[in-house]
Amino acid sequence: MPPTPDLDELLAAAHVVTLPLRVRFRGVTEREAVLLRGPYGWAEWAPFTEYADADAARWLAAAVEAGWGGLPAPVRDAVGVNATVPAVPAHDVEQVLARYDVRRTAKVKVAETGQSLADDLARVREVRRVLGPAARVRVDANGAWSVDDAVRALTALAPLGLEYAEQPCATVADLAALRLALARAGVDVPVAADESVRRAEDPLEVARRGAADLVVVKAAPLGGVARALEIIEQAGLPAVVSSALDTSVGLALGVRLAAALPVLEHDCGLGTGALLAADVVADPLVPVGGGLTLARADAARAAVDPGALTAYRGDAGRESWWRARLARAHALLPAS
């Protein structure tokens, strides 16, 4: 890790923005983020508002790495990207997918509060219809199912051809139990761990307990690209690089992580820029031809639009809230 900048330096470099979303995602219609300009370029700090200060500090460590240090060298110059389908009604699926220049892989949100398994089935079935039989379709439950609910849901969804189910249950113990239950039921759906890696005190527990077939990793929540690479290596499981509803600056860090992975077997969840109705760069980092290039990602980090920072600046109350949070997160980082 690079030396931690002084708090005053971070506060002076901080720009709070509130960006509108095209559709509701994770229960929100706006995405708040803090853009930080360091000597090595722009960085993003955008832990979700409900996250604790300890979580926010890891996100800040990632921003310090990007803006005040150096990033690991890449081994590839482009990465494949999946489309992301929020928990929309089935009749809206085609419109959502039309925003993506992606026809190979899609991640579909399921287990939304207030919706039923029938809604999930209809949504995933429509994704399969639009993308065709050769497409890879993965689902993400964000830990909302019990083991029994997950077995029932994945048994019903499996005939639609799932690449994997992301965080079907909330705890590592339940993920391990689910893998065993699916095997006993003859349901061939691999289990991926997301929150059980990026929000865990011990991100390697899922690997030690055999609770997942692969891990979903995000650079910012894990403390940066270098730390994420360490965790992937130690876990010894295939990794999917994903985003956390980032601006183009945050997505660029995800591309940097994917580009540095020794092995990249799965398309990345780095297409969520298509869910934003506005961004902080003039040329948003959205997939072209089903992928993102390292050159475009680096260009995005270098091309933050001052006009966008002004147009989408958070109001005085939100700016004060984020600056106070930044001070608390900074206090948790190691001293330089």
Q: What is the largest CA-CA distance in the chain?
A: 57
Q: Where are the beta strands (DSSP E) in 46-150?
A: 78-80, 83-85, 105-109, 136-140
The distance of Cα 53 from the centroid of its chain, to the nearest Å, equals 19
Backbone angles phi, psi at 278, to 5 degrees: -150, 155
The three-state secondary structure class of 242 is strand
Across 137-156, b (16+ Cβ under 10 Å) vs e yields bbbbbbbbbebebbbebbee
The two tokens of residue 147 are 């083991």
Q: What amino acid is encoded at 288 in this protein?
A: V
Kindly state the helix (H) or strand (E) to which residue 33 belongs, with its residue range: strand 28-38
The answer on whether 8 is annotated among ligand-binding residues is: no
Report the distance separating Cα 331 and Cα 56, nearest Å: 11
Backbone angles phi, psi at 279, to 5 degrees: -140, 175
The two tokens of residue 108 are 């579909």
The answer on whether 140 is annotated among ligand-binding residues is: yes
The answer on whether 194 is annotated among ligand-binding residues is: yes
Catalytic residues: 109, 218
Using alpha carbons, select from 274, 233, 273 the residue that is nearest to residue 257: 233
Using alpha carbons, select from 180, 177, 217 the residue that is nearest to residue 196: 217
Report the distance separating Cα 233 and Cα 262, nearest Å: 9
The three-state secondary structure class of 217 is strand
Binding residues for Mg(2+): 140, 166, 194
